[in-house]
Amino acid sequence: MNYEYILSELSKGIVCTLELTALVFIGGFLFGFILSVGRTYGSRFIRWLSIGYIELIRGTPMLLQILIIGFGLPIAIRNYYPDFTINSFWAVSIAMILNSGAYQAEYFRGAFNSLEFGQTEAGLALGMSKWEIVKNILLPQAIRRAFPNFTNELIYILKYSSLAMILSVHEMTYQAKSVGAVTFRYGEIYLLLGALYLAFAFALAQIMKVVEMKVYIPGVTTRVEKRGLL
Amino acid sequence: MQVPLSDALPFLAKGAYIAIVLSLLSIFLGFVIGIVVAIAETYGGRVVRYIAMGYENILRGIPLIAIYFILFFSLPLLLHIGMSAFLTAVVGLGIRSSAYQSQIFRSSIQSVDKGQIEAALSLGMSRGETILHIVLPQALRFSIAPWLNEYAVVLKDTSIALVLGIVELTEKATQLVQVTKDPFLWYGIAAVFYLIIVLTVVTIANRISEKYRIKGLGGMIRV
Amino acid sequence: MYEEVLKVVDLKKRFGNNEVLKGVSFSIGKGETKVVIGPSGAGKSTMLRCINRLVEPDGGKIYFKGDEITSKNVDIKKIRSRIGFVFQHFNLFKHLTALDNVKIGLKIVKKMSDKEATERAYKALKMVRLEDCASKYPAQLSGGQQQRVAIARALAMDPEIILFDEPTSALDPELVGEVLDVMKELSKKHVTMLVVTHEIGFALGVADEILFFYDGVIWERGKPQEIIYKPKKKETKDFLRRIFELYSRGEEE
């Protein structure tokens, strides 16, 4: 039992998983914000496009989307450029960002919709432009209101990063499998894998909780509040 | 190599059939376990509640693939319990879904107006009778919309069963792509299949949920 | 010397089949305080919102300092920054402290430096006697305090006129007084004000003219003493009688 080997291989996997998770979460956040702005404030065509895109992503399995981009697309390209290869890590990242963005766009949208129109009215009455209102008034409140959704999304991405192993990305699950193949101790390894995911899910949830408390503003939370303080 | 639609469609249809069967078996397994866990967590004593909470947290923190591997490898190798690939797929997806379903049922139970319970007890009903005749019927009505959303999630995640060698729709489509080098056609058809079912289910769920709101559940389910 | 700040001519607005404003006309001069009273839901709020075009009128013209602001080519954001608006539900920005609420318009719309904006904001908060609450969030303030911060926010922009949309209607009775006191002070300092309210006492105290709004138009107008004690039209009399019954019923019991 070469514990050093197991440790080093798993560590590589852990790093890869965390990188993938962070990349996808941030990419999805930015993409989701842009998408939600297009969906709420765009022209009729842009809105139609955004809604169509979001429904398409939410209506199909993530694994299918990953396979389309990581497996299908290169095959299609190879019909014209036979030497084409892609880096699976980036292919999976892009597929997952495209996926996560659609969900995060809906969290933004829900949060924007939950804000009272009075906030926008007050901004307009002062003479602010629509974009100034979104940036300075609506966005800071929306992020805080949707915080639990973003936390869930982060954990979700952590778990579904495991799908990358199907395309031979050396993240945690892939590494566990390869260690199992070498040591033949599949049983213990997979239990360890489960425990690792649990540990990281817990850790990420705690980190998000700390962040949530740091940015907390009384009156701007997810809990439904009465209108003002009368 | 070209594969004519007349051959490919029945081929894919078998995969779709497996996906649907898998999704239905898993969601119902999840339903049965989910209700039990929800009741345990709401009405149970401290030990029972902690076990239920632990069950929920573990099954929600581990990816489905890892659950599959644990059931398919760790269980036989360490405890000598063996399951076929298909059974593993159903059980794995089922118990994962049960963890999310139990949360749906718990929230629904808590959404039942407390006044109802007080009225039932005042009439002389026992706790058990109150739960069975007053709380659960109303809670189940609240659960329908989120439960339909959960079904959509389960259907989509049947695709993950391909790591166990289950030849469901996504795997069939992938095989066709490997052979014909035409990803957009086959993956496109597979996507349409999932889309039709998911969009129908989710639309029905949204219609229903306009009638019955659950406090505090909004946004927790990633559909 | 009379200097016209706002002139509303034949303002019209309909929502679907419901014609809410049927031709409202009036004008306000610099330093004047005019109060609009009338039955609830008649369209008084809509009328105010048409003035800074939060709601687009369907007909009529509005002149602000001589310029027609209902025409197409107008930079409405610039106009809005010169018209103050105090909302019934305060609409303070919930994620900002009281001070930041007052500052934000100055920094973003008037493009002031942070230092200048902070100075102005403090001055405005002092005017409403809330400089001690500068670093509190709206959720930590009472309704009366929130509304006073909202007034400071409007004041800090140094507007040519301030519109008040039922500023005390959403407040608990014991908090109404502190807001009305601030408004009375502003009126005495010759801030140009257009106030929609039910507070007849306030109107009697500081209004230069009362406009009775009924059925989509200004039904009757005149000096406070005339309108309140010697109303000419039947509808005005009925409305005032209902208001006084409301206030005096408590005394009889």
DSSP A163: G
Euclidean distance between CA atoms A119 and A137, whole angstroms: 7
Rounded to two decimals, the ipTM of the complex is: 0.90
Under a CB-based contact definition with an 8 Å cutoff, are residues C195 and C183 in contact? yes
The mean pLDDT of A87-111, rounded to a whole number, is 96
Distances (CA, A) of B182 to B34, B130, B175, C117: 41, 59, 11, 62
Q: What residues are paired with C213 via a beta bridge?
A: C218
pLDDT of A41 reads 80
pLDDT band at B153 (very low <50, low <70, confident <90, very high): very high
In this model, does residue C41 exceed pLDDT 70? yes
Q: Which run of H or of E encompasses A113?
A: helix A88-114
* A194 touching chain C per CB within 8 A: no
Higher pLDDT, B101 or B116: B101
Euclidean distance between CA atoms C194 and C164, whole angstroms: 6
| Residues sharing a CB contact under 8 Å with residue C102, sequence separation 6 or more, in sequence order | C120, C121, C124, C125, C149, C152, C153, C156
- CB-closest option in B77, B157, B220 to A152: B220
Q: Which run of H or of E encompasses A48?
A: helix A44-59
Percent of chain A with pLDDT over 90: 81
With vertex at residue B197, the alpha carbon angle to CA B102 and CA B192, rounded to the nearest 5 degrees, is: 135
- CB-closest option in A75, A110, A160 to B63: A160
Euclidean distance between CA atoms C49 and C42, whole angstroms: 14
pLDDT of A227 reads 37
Which residues of A are less than 8 Å from B67 in CB distance?
194
CB contact under 8 A, A186 and B74: yes
Q: What is the dihedral of CA C174, C179, C181, C183, to 10 degrees?
A: -150
Q: Of A116, A120, A126, which to mutate for an interface test with C (greatest number of C Cβ within 10 Å)?
A: A126
CB atoms closer than 10 angstroms to residue C2: 8
Inter-helix orientation angle B46-61/B5-43, to 10°: 150
The mean pLDDT of B152-161, rounded to a whole number, is 97
Interval C47-77: pLDDT, tens:
999 998 989 999 999 999 999 999 888 888 8
The mean pLDDT of C198-213, rounded to a whole number, is 94
The mean pLDDT of B60-70, rounded to a whole number, is 96
CB contact under 8 A, A136 and C87: no
Distances (CA, A) of C173 to C144, C169, C178: 10, 9, 10
Dihedral sign computed on CA atoms, order C22, C26, C32, C35: negative
The token duo for A99 is 């996926």
CB contact under 8 A, A122 and C141: no
pLDDT of A221 reads 80
Q: Which residues between 178 and 197 in chain A have a beta carbon less than 8 angstroms from any beta carbon of chain B?
A: 180, 186-188, 190-191, 193-194, 197
Alpha-carbon gap: B219 to the closest alpha carbon of chain A (Å): 6
Euclidean distance between CA atoms A142 and B79, whole angstroms: 49
* C142 touching chain A per CB within 8 A: yes
Listed as own residue / partner, the contacts of B183-188 with beta carbons closer than 8 Å and 24 or more positions apart are B183/A68, B183/A71, B183/A72, B183/A73, B183/A75, B183/A76, B184/A72, B184/A76, B186/B8, B186/B12, B187/A64, B187/A67, B187/A68, B187/A72
Euclidean distance between CA atoms A141 and A217, whole angstroms: 9
**Total residues belonging to chain C:** 253
* A159 touching chain B per CB within 8 A: yes
CB contact under 8 A, A63 and B218: no
